[in-house]
Amino acid sequence: MKRFLIYFFIFLFLLNSFCFADDFIEPEISESLNLLEVSSNISNEPVINSKNAVAVDRKTLSILYEKDCYKSVPMASTTKIMTCLIALENCSLDEIVTVSKKASLTTGSTLGLVENMKISINDLLYGLMLRSGNDCAVCIAEHISGSIEEFSNLMNKKAKELGLSNTNFVTPHGLDNENHYTSAYELALITNYALKNPKFREIVSTKNYTISFNNYPRTISNTNELLGNLNGVYGVKTGFTFNAGRCLVSACKRNDLDIIVVVLGADTKNNRTKDSANIINYIFNTYNYTDISSIINESFENYVTYFENNYLLEKTTSIPSLRLGTLENYEFPFSKNKELNLKTKIYSLNKFSYKTKPNSKIGIIELYNNDKLICSVDIFLENELIKNDWKYYFKNILNLFF
């Protein structure tokens, strides 16, 4: 009995430690994907099972839908989005890797790597993102950094470069750890950055791929249940651990609208699928782009007229000339079901001296829709302001007396 209890608790410990990165070993593999259950014409915000979710417009990074999207939570194998990105930025696709014993013994979802096997980085990345191989993740980490710990440092360094504050990586595959977390919003930002890499986008949009195991071909399939089943979906990654629940990051483009949808903490695979699909359909049925360039330019022109009669000069007589900055994009998504109420607010210096440098930022225009900040554009001083010399002051003295 003692031996049985010892084995039983060891089993529970190992079971709790597994990183079930995809759905190959989940008991719900028998669930069939039924997109008929998903609403294709949903116009009200969907009520979802997932604990955390966000939909982000890729063009403007505007949040179009969210549910507790800033909370730090475990993210399971969606971690591998960052792992793949780090690999693409730090090594060549044709590099050959020798599989270590540690990588070959990795548990959870695996590609089936064997110690001393030779495999290319290219094939490892497909195994990582399609099959969601934890052994591929460890293999990549050891090849690039020598250890999982050092590779995690690279991941966290990249997270800081992207300006993320609610993200921390401990492993390259997503094994549950209290110090391994992100938020739905920051995971969307990581994904958006990664999708700018053509190879990353090619990998995550691939449904089936043939890799080479010691020069023997093997075809693997993508675990992403929406890829090829929902109009416009072109990636990205599934995930599952006991603590993280069912997770899915999706990228979808229809016409000009290109979005990323993240759902984390769903109770079942079916829930994460329906949640993602319902959010995607809601966004495309609700939002379209509006060009805001005219209201920004008109607001700036009106301000320049006001400014010309209301600035103050100190130790200079040069007339300040203002220049409006630019945005990368002037089309923003707005709901078709809500009335637009676009207004601008302008904040600017009104006192200038010769010390105010040309091309320095002296103000900002903020655009709001129903009191929600949409974007901001900088205002710059365009010209140099010349310091008054002794001749100016001498002339003033003469005028004062004569």
Active-site residue (options: 50, 67, 77, 276):
77
For residue 147, give the nearest of 132, 137, 156, 157 by alpha carbon.
137
Distance (Å, whole) CA 86 – CA 151: 9
Q: Which residue has the tokens 């094994």?
A: 175
The alpha-carbon radius of gyration of the chain (Å, integer) is 28
Residue 132 appears among annotated catalytic residues: yes
The answer to whether 91 and 81 have CB atoms below 8 angstroms apart is: no
Residue 160 appears among annotated catalytic residues: no
Q: Where are the alpha helices (DSSP H) in 205-288?
A: 269-286
> Strand runs (DSSP E) across 203-317, as ranges?
208-213, 216-221, 233-241, 245-254, 257-266, 287-291, 312-314
Residue 30 appears among annotated catalytic residues: no
Active-site residue (options: 67, 80, 158, 269):
80
Active-site residue (options: 100, 132, 152, 183):
132
> How far is residue 312 from each of residues 69, 148, 354, measured CA to CA in Å?
46, 60, 12
| DSSP code for 76 | G
β-pairing verdict for 361-369 and 52-57: unpaired
Catalytic residues: 77, 80, 132
